[in-house]
Each structure stands twice: as structure tokens, then as C-alpha cells.
A and B are shown apart, each in its own frame.
Chain A
């Protein structure tokens, strides 16, 4: 009863490490499978491509992670890609300006996120309902607008003088590492920092852990809720810009389809609690990469890509099973070793 309080940190047993970082284990298992299946065909650039192809879902998933930590959800992120993409391509074709295109993409993202956030934070409508609605709205606007222009896909104009630079950006490598992958890593660092070492980050966790107590501790709950949606929109804007630079076009019917689900899955595999208040954003990166590798494995096996979601769904179930079973096993072991 008389422990003196000092600076020592809580004990980090091997069990708690496995529990807190199960996303690394899942990633390593999938990555090992990838290496085995690919065998001698494995190349450095193939591995680096995992980073590149994880970027779009990864950025969406970081926003999703913050939203889920507050106890909310954002189903509209995939549709945001379509609407932001459509408008950004149109802006680029009209202005031939990369900087303006980037600013419009980010600005649109912030606006779409703000719409979600205001309905959730101030009108107190459940996030699921709000973002389900905007998921339908955002994509539909992108498709409708395209139809009125008599086209089926938003193509960046390859004859513009800056097209080469924008498209090239998506293909560039720095010291063999794809630019897009570097940007993903950069945002991982930023987001992990924001979540763990800033006042804002702690407020996000506080709101998700006990909203009433956070409010009575002085946290502006509404503002925090709005901000996490705005950040998600901002990240969706950047993700759209990356998509454009990688692909050169945006098809509003298919771009980002089911990406909200993949982002949620990445968040869950990363160990963030759907109930809010708990989990690490670092896990989100591993969750997103795990899913990209599954795509690669299926491609190299030459199996029909339609089996893809079966495997992704199973991995998600398995990940959650591991997360919920490990604590039980640990408790059993503890009991056995004592008694």
C-alpha cells in the first residue's frame, strides 16, 4: 500500500507487447507469405511498390483512425476521392497549374470533411448516418457532373505543359524509394506525433474514452469532433492528388470504391478499438500495407481477383480474433503460473 510514486513506467511484459503490437505480427506473417510465394521473383522495387500502393488507403485510414478514436466513423472517404478527383482534374485541365490543383484538392477535402463534421459535431446526428448520406452524395455529384459534360471518365489533358511534371511526380523515386511511399511515411510520422504528443491528439482520445468526463474537464467536444472529420477530408484531398499523379485519370464510378471499408479494416487490424478511446495510429500503416500485400499475393498467384475480398475479410476476422483471444490466453497463463 505504500508504493512511492516515481518516474518508472508501467511494466512491459512480452505478453503486453504482443498484445499491443499484434498488427506487426499480422503484417510480418502476410509479408513472409508474399516472399515465399514470390520466391526468386521478389525484387526490391516490388517490395517498395507495397508502400506506393498503400499510400491512398493509408492516408484515408489515418483520418479514419482519428475519427474512430473519437467513437465515430467516416463512410464517405471513398466517395470523397471521386468528387475531389473530378473537380481537381477539371481544375488542372482548365489551368495547367499543379499548385492550384493541389490547393483545390486539399481545399475540397477540407470542405467535404467540414460538412461531415458540422453535421456530426453540431447537429448531433450519428456519424454513421451523416457519412452514409455524404458517401452517396459525393460520388453521385462527381458522376452526374461528368455525365452533363458528355464524358465517362475524368482524364487529365496529356497535352498540357505541366502534365508531365504532375504525372511524373507519381512515378518518381528518390534513392529507389517511390515518392508516394515517402509521402506515406512522412504522414505516418506526422499523424503518430499528432496522436501521441500533442494536446489535440489527447483530446481526441479523451472524447472517445469518456465524452462526458472530457467535456467536464474542459475539452471542447464539438470542436474536436469537427476537427477529426476535417483532418480526414484534408488527408482525402492529399490522397486524391497522389492518385491523380499515379494514374493520370479519375473514374468516379470506381475510384475509391470500398476504400472506406479497407480504411476501417486497416484501422481495426492496427488495433484501434471501434468503441473509441484506445489504439495506436502506427498500427494503421501496417494494416494498410497488409491489405496491399494481399493484392500482390493474389496477382502473383494468378488467381481471379474476385477472391480478393474473401481473403481480406478473413484476415480482418483473424486479426480481431487474435486481438480478443490474446488477453484471455494471457490471463489463463497468469492464473496457471500462480496457482
Chain B
């Protein structure tokens, strides 16, 4: 039985069509993967379903009833729950307060019936087989638990269809597995899911069917069992798709970066060295310490022991300026919080770092800066209208290219890329990989931290695996299989040995 049938949905913003005659059918009790690159129209379609936007044309039938002029409240009442990527939880409230927000149970006097709310919350968690204390503050929960709390909230609101928008972005593998177990259990109880994700392995693990959108148009629907990741990717990116492995071997030069027994926040006793022109991949589960190690090399976190040598100089203390002067640049994880200066144009976002290197010559020559920017933008293939446009007007991939331009502009020759393709669609990812190779060929040394193993396979000469702040192993390119890397990253290898 169909729980949802969206037919012929069209929607324009300011005269620009973002959805053209899109269809989406979801069966009761299935996990339906909604696929497409950023900008394909997935969010718009889901926002129409959840009553955030109104559609220009088309019909929506949910649970046998047509939905007209749907508001957010109507959609919630009908049983549609949108679990957003950025979790909509109140961190300063307790778990049960979040669940009962705006629907608080009270005694006749108007006083809150905390006992009953806590009991019902506990009941809800028990039914989900989730271990969350209803009385703990949300701010104390791990991200994985927060995700589960969002789902619990939806179930409490009697949701029949849950929209999960990239629910695994902030989760580690264990938490993802747990989430999937819960999804499967709820599925058996008749709940339906729309699952939005960029990660192929997840889609092929959890989804029953899929629908692909591209450039606002409906492309294809089918059963997951009857397809494979390559075919789905092709449907998503269209003619742009290029199967070529971006990787080609290069020569490397002298040692430019050396860690000897380096310790810092969340990692200890790390030793390795990197040669000029190398691309070294780093990976590990969330909390592995790679990101902290990058930040320490960049001078954003303190060195707590050991020795760090950059371009022949032993680095002291923590100072971003010194690291930059030695030619280190870092693209931080979480672009929005750590890289983007939202009130700045593309041009300003690019030149800001170079301007911190030298304090003399305070005058900014807009003409010279623009010329430099245009050269870099051309090199990196930044797609934008004008250098004076705000950076927030660009897509994620182009924003990341501007941040890369920022560091190339400082002439950094050691680039630390912390999760550089986060929130970037498939096509733009490929471009970033190509740029990494191009830069390495020109003599830049590049360290990439990523949780995605296919990404490692695309770019890295070798891969260093972290686990709980320790260096597990170094894997040469020839042995960088998904299975091998995961064995080390999850520490399964030692468990096996120990047994």
C-alpha cells in the first residue's frame, strides 16, 4: 500500500524553476532513498511535503487523503515528521522537556506533571530499545543519541512517515549501525522512511527503493536490490559522470613535515613524516584524534609533547601565525563554522589570510587583489558571478574552492585538508580530487583527513589510520581496500588478534 504519492510536483522561486513535474511514491513500511546532488531539488521537495513551502502545481496524497494548502502543523498532524540535518533540539532543556515541548502534561492546577512525562519518555525509549536518560540535559548527549531523540520525538508525535535528512553525517560507524537497527525495527512496526544521504554504502545497506532527482527533474525510481552504486551515481550526476580514477603516481621530494612522538589534545605519541609532493590520507572514526592532530600542526591547538618539524624548523607552542609563516595552511572541517566569513565577498574571503602574514603595507589594492583572485579562481574553476558576490551565495563545492584559493594565495606548500568534501555533491567532489592531484604535482604536500574510504582511494598515496588518539598503522596504496582500512579504523584487527 502506498502511504505517500506525490505526482507532477512543480515549484519555482522568483521565476526560476527548481522542481519540474517530479514524482515520488513511498510504500508503507519501506525505507525510500531520495537521491540527487546538492541542488537537485531534494530539500525543496521535502519542504513541500512538510508544509514549509507551497507547491505551484501537482498533487500530494498522504495516507489516502489529498493534502491541500498544507501548513507545517497540518503535515505534522497528518503524521509526517521531518528530522532535519541540523538537529532541532533545545540543548539547554532536558530530554523529556524536548519531547513534550508545547504539549506538556499538567496537573489540574496547571503545574507540570514531570513524573508522567518522564515515565512516558522512558516508555518511548524502551520501545525503541534506546538507552537515553529522559532527565539528562540534551547538551550532555552525544550526537548519535541526539539523532535518536529526534526520532523519538517524531514517534511521540505519532508520525507515520519520517523524513531523515542526511541523518548519519555526524555519527560514527557504531552509532550508524545502531540507527539502522532502530530504523529496521520501526519499519517492521509499519513506519515509513524517506532517507536522504550522499553515502552509497548506507543507501545500499538500509534502503528498499530509491528515487533519483537531477536538476529539479524526476529521473528514475527502482528497487535497490536491482541496481548497484555505480549505476545510481550515473543517474545522479548524468553525463558529467567520469569513472576515471583521478589518481596517478607522482615523484616525491625531500621530507617537509615530521612528527616525532607528538602529543596534544585527544592524541598522543604520533610519529610519521611526509615528503614534498605526497598526498597522505588520514582516517579514523569520529574521536580518532586526526582532526586534533591537524589543528595542532596548524598551531590552533597546543603541542603537549614530542617534536614537530615543518620545512626544517622545529615548531614551538601553538601559534597559527608561525605555522602559516612556515608554509602550513589548513582547510578546517565544518566549513560554515570554521572557514566561511559570511559577510565577506569571494575576494575578501580569499585575501584575508595572506594579509595576516605581513603587517606592514596596510593598503589593499583592490585591483591587484582582484587580478590575483581571478587567476586562482580560474585555476580552481570557481563558478561564480563576480568577485564581489557574497561567499554565501555559492554552492558548497565552490565555497570550498574559495577557501582553497585562500590558502594557495598565502603560498602555503603544506595543506592540511580536514574533511574537505563535507556537504559537497558528487560532481564537485571529483573536481576537488583532481585539484588535489594537480596541486601535488606542482609540489604541494597534502594531508587529507576523511571518513570516506572511497575518497582515500581517489587521492592518497598512502593512508595512516588513527584509533582513539593512537596511530594504528600505515597502509600503502595497494592495500587500501575498504575492508582493510575499516579493520584498522575500528580496531577490529586487534580484537581478532587478541581472540
Contacts and interface: CB of A to CB of B under 8 A. Distances in A.
Interface of A: 1-3, 5-10, 197-200, 202-203, 205-206, 208-210, 212-220, 277-278, 334-335, 338-339
Contact of B386 (A8, A205, A206, A335): A8
Contacts of A3: 383-385
B321 interface: yes
A1 B383 contact: yes
B355 A203 contact: yes
Contact of B388 (A9, A197, A205, A217): A9
Interface string B244-277: 0000000000000000000000000000000000
Contact of A197 (B12, B14, B366, B374): B366
A214 B389 contact: no
B352 A202 contact: yes
B52 interface: no
Interface string B467-478: 000000000000
B348 interface: yes
Contacts of B332: 216
B14 A10 contact: no
Nearest to A218: B356
B14 A220 contact: no
Interface residues of B, number: 45
A3 B383 CA distance: 7
Contacts of A197: 363-364, 366
B362 A200 contact: yes
A212 B338 contact: yes
Contact of B356 (A203, A205, A338): A203
Interface in B349-364: 351-353, 355-357, 359, 361-364
B386 A216 contact: no
B423 to A, nearest CB: 16
B320, B351, B356, B382: most-surrounded residue (chain A CB, <10 A): B356
Interface stretch (B68-76, B339-347, B442-450): B339-347
Contact of A213 (B341, B363, B387): B341
B393 to A, nearest CB: 9
B81 interface: no
**Would you call the interface of chain B mostly helix, strand, loop, or mixed?**
loop
Given A5-B378, A203-B355, A338-B15, A215 B363 contact: no
Contact of B364 (A5, A198, A215): A198
B231 interface: no
B303 interface: no
15 contacts: A3-B383, A5-B382, A8-B386, A205-B341, A205-B343, A205-B344, A206-B344, A209-B341, A214-B352, A216-B298, A216-B320, A217-B352, A217-B353, A218-B324, A218-B410
A277 B342 contact: yes
Contacts of B338: 212-213, 216
B377 interface: yes
B300 interface: yes
Given A8-B386, A215-B300, A216-B330, A210 B341 contact: yes
Nearest to A207: B341
A174 B363 CA distance: 31
A31 B370 CA distance: 39
A146 to B, nearest CB: 40
B356 A5 contact: no
Contacts of A198: 362-364
B146 interface: no
Contacts of A334: 14
Nearest to A208: B343
Contacts of A9: 386, 388
A312 to B, nearest CB: 28
Contacts of A278: 343
B387 A7 contact: yes
B364 A210 contact: no
A217 B386 contact: no
B386 A5 contact: yes
Given A210-B337, A218-B320, A218-B353, 19 more contacts: A5-B374, A5-B386, A5-B387, A7-B370, A7-B374, A10-B388, A199-B359, A199-B361, A202-B351, A202-B355, A202-B364, A213-B338, A213-B341, A216-B330, A216-B332, A216-B339, A218-B321, A218-B357, A277-B341
A199 B366 CA distance: 11
Contact of B341 (A10, A217, A218, A335): A217
B179 to A, nearest CB: 29
B370 A219 contact: no
Interface string B415-433: 0000000000000000000
Nearest to A205: B343
B153 interface: no
A198 B351 CA distance: 12
B198 interface: no
Nearest to B381: A5
A200 B410 CA distance: 17
A10 B384 CA distance: 11
Given A7-B370, A199-B362, A217-B352, A206 B341 contact: yes
A158 B114 CA distance: 75
B351 to A, nearest CB: 8
A99 B300 CA distance: 45
A214 B352 CA distance: 8
Nearest to B335: A213
A7, A216, A338: most-surrounded residue (chain B CB, <10 A): A216
Interface in B371-415: 374, 377-378, 382-389, 406, 410
Contacts of B374: 5-7
A280 to B, nearest CB: 12
Given A206-B352, A216-B332, A218-B357, A5 B362 contact: no
A1, A8, A206: most-surrounded residue (chain B CB, <10 A): A206
Contacts of A217: 339, 341, 352-353, 356, 406
Contact of B339 (A6, A208, A213): A213
Contact of B340 (A6, A8, A210, A218): A210
Interface in B1-60: 12, 14-15
Contacts of B343: 205, 208-209, 277-278
Given A8-B386, A10-B386, A219 B352 contact: yes
A338 to B, nearest CB: 4
A10 B388 CA distance: 6
Contact of A5 (B15, B321, B353, B384): B384
Given A10-B385, A334-B14, A213 B337 contact: yes
Contacts of B352: 202-203, 206, 214, 217-219
Closest A-B pairs by Cβ, 9 of them = A218-B356, A209-B343, A199-B355, A277-B343, A198-B362, A338-B15, A217-B353, A209-B341, A218-B353
Nearest to A334: B14
A113 B388 CA distance: 34
Nearest to A277: B343
Given A213-B341, A214-B341, A216-B338, A202 B321 contact: no
A215 B361 CA distance: 21
A12 B243 CA distance: 43
